[in-house]
Structure 1
Amino acid sequence: MGYLNIDGQIFYNMVVNASNKLEEQKEFVNSLNVFPVPDGDTGTNMSMTIRNAVLEISNAEETSIEVIVKQLAKGALMGARGNSGVILSQIFRGISKGIQGKNQINSLEFANSLEEGAKSAYKAVMRPTEGTILTIIRAVGESAVKSQEKDITKLLEEVCSYGKTMLDKTPDMLPVLKKAKVVDAGGMGLLVILQGMYEALKNNMERVHLKEAGTAKIQSAAKNLGEQNIKYGYCTEFLIHSQVSDIQDFRGKLQGMGDSMVVVKDEDIIKVHIHTNDPGWVLSQAVKLGELSKIKIDNMREQHRHILNIDDFEENSSEKKIDQDEESHEQETESKKYAFISVSVGEGINSIFKDLGVDYVIEGGQTMNPSTEDILNCINSVNAETVFVLPNNKNVIMAANQAAELSNKTVKIIPTKTIPQGITAITAFNSDVDLNENVNAMESAISTVATGLVTYAIRDTEVDEKDIKRGDILGLIEGKIKQVGKDKFQVCGNIIDEMTGENSELISIYYGEKCNEDEVNDFVKKLEKKYEDMDIQCYSGKQPLYYFIVSVE
């Protein structure tokens, strides 16, 4: 069936089918990540991002494509995970911009919206790299605009075909892809989405239902939630249709009624999200501003218990822990000048950050990047004039920056790409100096930190003329594979050798959950003899995936 025009409900079916298709193929997309280390999460990040976007419009009966895509873009923005997810959210943001004021669109207007999506994506990246998802969205946007096809189904068929052609060329644009014999993972994820949209039109799908996501990530997130205090039990979300221009008074009233508060105004709609113990009171205040819609109230404790499938005894234990956590945070009710949020994973590493004064640790990092909304909710939960965020992972920085832009607070993202950089940054903080001095000091401090990682290969490949077999131990320095071996201690020792120099003074070692403590202690003793003029510190990080995280300063 041909489509000369598409409205909001047709577009809804297109993106739901796209989300389902990417959910099915996310592991394949993950497998395309260039490095053979266990952090290939491009497919997962993009799938979770578009899924969050679709959930935003899951109950929408609206037929206007402008309204549907605007809500979709908001959902993608809040749910964006990792660099690929943030770029995808910006693509939807650009598409939304391209169809403003339209109840339905024709093929030319759809083509123009794709081109707007490309422009928005490129603007979001400080140093755009060709041969990536950016190249694919630009190519399909340009091809769509040049097309003379009036049938949107056939237009999308052309777009997908040209997108596939460009994707196959990405190894020629990025030597690292050619060496690994793969195409770009983000580009493939985008192509899967476009193919899903095309199939929805081709097969004339009606009211497509969102398929259930894999449970592994959900359960992991639920366990992480259980380790934090659920002080306010009801997740309350709704829209206010209002002509009120100033929402500061309303935001102020809600401030003391919960946490994880987001109050965002867009034209004549106010979107509210808050965790509270009295959703009725919140709604009674909101209705004074205008008509309410899309009201959604979830009992978070009940959801948590259901996901984990725990019995009554475990439930009672969990409630006791929540009570203890509430008591430990009672003293945080007063506002303070500065607060810190850190992203990390590993019981030992999390404890180190807390001991150094971090107010909240967001559980995440490799393979489980927090979303923009995760970071934003944490920012809004901290009662401080200025909030510093330490992403501690290059794939979290873009989501952190988006969260900072959405917050009404003063937020400073310190661009830490590794755990050691995050630890060094917070130790450089001085509460007695002003904000700019602190930002400069922390950014200067992280530039002096060299970081090494020891992990394992998840597949056979060749990187920088190194023949790598699945299961090999890999030693990385600043993200580049420098050592390949069979023994994790030998590989770790070798990268420390490469990292140290005449001016090196401190070696820090954080060993993972799969390391034997006695063996680590023996290894450290050997290092102390070899580097007798340097200080060597060793900590139990209990991090997954990485046998060792090491730094030299």
Structure 2
Amino acid sequence: KEAGVVDSGGQGLLEVLQGAYDVLLGKEVDLKVEPVSRPVQKPMGAASGETADITFGYCTEFIVMLDREFGSAQEQEFKDYLTGMGDSIVVVADEDIVKVHVHTNHPGKAIEKGLSYGALTSMKIDNMREEHEERLNLSRQAEEKEPAPRKDMGFVAVSIGSGLNDIFRELGADYLIEGGQTMNPSTEDMLNAIAQVNADHVFILPNNKNIILAAQQAKALVEDKEIIIIPTKTVPQGISALIAFEAESSVEENEAAMTEMMNGVKTGEVTYAVRDTTIDGKTIKVDDIMGIDDNGIQEVGNDVEAVTLGLLRSMVDEDSELICIYYGDETPEEKAVKLSKKAEELYPDCEVQMEYGGQPIYYFLLSVE
């Protein structure tokens, strides 16, 4: 509410309550669906398994920072333009910005149209045919691979970013679910992941407070394995929890050790603002850099390094021993090296480690233990 945006979970709950209220009143709802007048793209992973089934090959996203009037007429004009060249269209206007999403074969044309309304930021184009082919190859490899012998304990972890994925695998994670702030896996995703782990006891590391409930629901539905949820709320917590695992210890001992280790981790995130807002008493402009820790937004500024070091100041105390810096997919390695050296100078009593995380959206993820 303070940020001036709609919480999708809260809106969903409101719809459920409205539906219950309508039932009590005996309201009749027309559930007829109008036929689509043009071909619809088949979903990724269609039964045929052919990339040719993907009608529009490029998932295109960007944000327009408006420099001209953009009312309902302009919004409809933009939607109509995109409808003529693709599907899965989202055009959402909010004061000074417009968020755009479209599947198309001509991403350049969508971008050109966006530029007619203002400057662009957060541009992202993904080749869905290429991604689909990679998924099919991985699926074929999994089918051809002989199943590993059943073991006592295994792990499912939620992760995002190639570097973080590699770290989890190196620490012994059996199966990774792609997830993140805007891509929360479902209970079904959890169940599918659990089925892939050939173990009697499966530990789940949600690594996001929004995913813990899905893990709990999955646990209640699994009968042939014991599911242990370590309630990690961040990726750094998940990494530290996995480090605490000892193969020689019992399930109960590992659950206690991993939970204790997780609770000793402070997490920080450095990202950018996509809109103007005021929150936690801080005025934030679009494209400002924000430093966020477990207690909320701590730093706001225009320089990534300055905000990151300011965030570290709020996280490190006299009991801190280890600082881990994970740099994202859009952060050059040399900037990460420079930052880690400054952290070593500022906190000589702490060990400073730097790793490639490859996470989107966040320039840096920080862990202080």
TM-score relative to the length of structure 1: 0.48
Query: 1:392 is paired with a residue of what secondary structure?
Result: coil
- Report the equivalent of 2:181: 366
AA in 1 matched with 2:13? L
Matched, 1:515 2:339: no
Identify if the C-alpha distance between structure 1 residues 41 and 534 changes in structure 2 by more than 3 Å, giving closer, same or farther: farther
Counterparts of 1:405 and 1:314, CA distance in 2: 33
**How far off its partner does 1:535 sit?**
1.4
Structure with more of its chain in strand, by fraction:
2
Residue correspondence of structure 1 range 53-72 to structure 2 within 5 A: none
**How far off its partner does 1:193 sit?**
5.0
**How far off its partner does 1:388 sit?**
0.3
2:267 and 2:368 in contact (8 A); partners too? yes
Once the two structures are superposed, residues 411-455 of structure 1 have per-residue CA deviations (whole angstroms, 9 ceiling, x without a partner) of: 000000000100000000011011111100000001111111111
- Report the equivalent of 2:47: 299
Which structure would you say has the larger Rg?
A: 1
Match of 1:209 among 22, 25, 33: 33
Q: Structure 1 stretches of 5 or more lacking a match?
A: 1-31, 44-83, 85-185, 213-217, 226-297
- Report the equivalent of 1:348: 163
Matched, 1:458 2:311: no
Residue correspondence of structure 1 range 309-458 to structure 2 within 5 A: 309=57, 320-326=137-143, 329-330=145-146, 332-408=147-223, 409-458=225-274
1:424 and 1:445 in contact (8 A); partners too? yes
Counterparts of 1:311 and 1:483, CA distance in 2: 36
2:51 and 2:132 in contact (8 A); partners too? no
**How far off its partner does 1:531 sit?**
2.2
Query: 2:154 is paired with a residue of what secondary structure?
Result: strand
**How far off its partner does 1:494 sit?**
0.9
Match of 1:189 among 12, 21, 37: 12
Match of 2:298 among 472, 475, 482: 482
Q: Structure 2 stretches of 5 or more lacking a match?
A: 37-41, 58-126
AA in 2 matched with 1:550? L
1:305 and 1:315 in contact (8 A); partners too? no
**How far off its partner does 1:533 sit?**
2.9
AA in 2 matched with 1:351? D
- Report the equivalent of 1:528: 344
AA in 1 matched with 2:306? Q
**How far off its partner does 1:204 sit?**
5.3
Identify if the C-alpha distance between structure 1 residues 460 and 439 changes in structure 2 by more than 3 Å, giving closer, same or farther: same
TM-score relative to the length of structure 2: 0.70
Once the two structures are superposed, residues 81-139 of structure 1 have per-residue CA deviations (whole angstroms, 9 ceiling, x without a partner) of: xxx4xxxxxxxxxxxxxxxxxxxxxxxxxxxxxxxxxxxxxxxxxxxxxxxxxxxxxxx
AA in 1 matched with 2:14? L
Once the two structures are superposed, residues 351-379 of structure 1 have per-residue CA deviations (whole angstroms, 9 ceiling, x without a partner) of: 11011110000001210100011101211
AA in 1 matched with 2:49? R
Structure with more of its chain in helix, by fraction:
1
**How far off its partner does 1:470 sit?**
2.2
Query: 2:292 is paired with a residue of what secondary structure?
Result: strand
Residue correspondence of structure 1 range 98-113 to structure 2 within 5 A: none
**How far off its partner does 1:476 sit?**
1.1
Identify if the C-alpha distance between structure 1 residues 389 and 314 changes in structure 2 by more than 3 Å, giving closer, same or farther: closer
1:455 and 1:474 in contact (8 A); partners too? yes
Identify if the C-alpha distance between structure 1 residues 203 and 504 changes in structure 2 by more than 3 Å, giving closer, same or farther: closer
- The alignment yields a C-alpha RMSD, in angstroms, of 3.3
Counterparts of 2:170 and 2:35, CA distance in 1: 42
